[in-house]
Amino acid sequence: MKFKRVSQRVYVNTEGKGGGNVGIIVLNDFVVAVDAQYPVSGWEFRRSISDVTTKPVKYLILTHYHQDHIFGSQAFRDCEIIGHFLLKKRIEENIKTIWSKEEIPKLIEDAKTNRPEVAPLLEGLEVILPNTTFNDRFMVDDIEITHTGGHTECSSIIYVPGDEVLFAGDLLFVKRFPWGGDPTADPDLWIEAFRKILEMNVNIIIPGHGPLSNKDEVRKQLEWFMAVRSKMKEMISNDTPMEKVIEYNGYPSFYESDRPTWRTSTLEHWYRKWSNQRQLFGF
Ligand SMILES: [Zn+2]
């Protein structure tokens, strides 16, 4: 795996061949890795770090619980693996169900049919848990990890001060339609996270997927999210049925979705979220 140097201390790979984007922060005495892709690509990521530095890798920070970001954690078993406490809870639940030892061969078989590009990367999969969790905020040296929620309930951002670099995880899909249909996704918190990022002293944003980016992309996505929210809530308050809300073609134009179901599943999830909100609190 080849890294691109993006600042004094930060190197990334945003090719997306082996899963979500990954990066490293080279500190004085040790290295912090961010996200881990899939097992095979996770090992390749780990091995490639020595092309950049001889310092030991001491930490792996996970931005959220999705498999394309955490399945490679096993290559960092000797490190302190850091994630939000809800990330640990989610992985624990999945280890008992869809990611159990018995289910993993099935998961790999399914991938051969549904995600053939991913299947070879799953070889040797063993899902492991973070060994350090946090609630709102966690520091590693001067690196700040902040929980935001949004894309998932455990989504967190990683700020590298001085370098003015931010790892946004999957809060940002650059130049592509975001996956907002996770059962724990919260579009309101996502909007708050975008606003928080725009207030930060950040020049370079490393998204979860897509090329290096900056606040212009965040601003663009924030505008779209807000426009969809206001239109969708308006339709919900007029009792417009879900199919009509999803099919509505007056939302501002935005990226096409990588996968055909992403847009629909995302908008359905948001519709349900705001419909519940209306029932509970009214708007
Ligand atoms: Zn994700």
Domain ranges of the chain: 4-215, 223-281
Task: State residue 256's pLDDT score.
Answer: 87
Structure letter (DSSP) for residue 213: B
Task: State residue 190's pLDDT score.
Answer: 98
Q: Is residue 151's pLDDT more than 90?
A: yes
Task: State residue 84's pLDDT score.
Answer: 98
Task: State residue 259's pLDDT score.
Answer: 81
Rounded mean pLDDT of the chain? 97
**Calpha distance 134→225 (Å, rounded):** 28
pLDDT category of residue 258 using cuts at 50, 70 and 90: confident
**How remote is the CA of residue 257 from the centroid of ligand 1, in Å?**
14
**How remote is the CA of residue 110 from the centroid of ligand 1, in Å?**
19
**How remote is the CA of residue 188 from the centroid of ligand 1, in Å?**
17
* Residues sharing a CB contact under 8 Å with residue 197, sequence separation 6 or more, in sequence order: 157, 166, 168, 171, 205, 215, 218
Mean pLDDT for the stretch of residues 34-54: 98
pLDDT tens profile 4-21: 999 999 999 999 999 999
In this structure, whether the domain defined by 4-215 belongs to CATH 3.60.15.10 is answered with yes
Q: Which residues are paired to 82 by β-bridges?
A: 61, 132
Residue 32 φ then ψ, to 5°: -110, 125
Burial class (CB in 10 A: 0-12, 13-18, 19+), 260: exposed
Task: State residue 210's pLDDT score.
Answer: 97
Mean pLDDT for the stretch of residues 85-102: 97
Task: State residue 226's pLDDT score.
Answer: 98
**How remote is the CA of residue 151 from the centroid of ligand 1, in Å?**
7
pLDDT category of residue 257 using cuts at 50, 70 and 90: confident
**How remote is the CA of residue 182 from the centroid of ligand 1, in Å?**
8
Task: State residue 61's pLDDT score.
Answer: 99
pLDDT category of residue 260 using cuts at 50, 70 and 90: confident
pLDDT category of residue 125 using cuts at 50, 70 and 90: very high
Q: Is residue 115's pLDDT more than 90?
A: yes
Task: State residue 221's pLDDT score.
Answer: 98
Full strand arrangement of the beta sheet holding 204-209: 137-140, 143-147, 156-160, 165-173, 204-209
pLDDT tens profile 213-255: 999 999 999 999 999 999 999 999 999 999 999 999 999 999 9
**How remote is the CA of residue 116 from the centroid of ligand 1, in Å?**
19
**Calpha distance 241→58 (Å, rounded):** 51
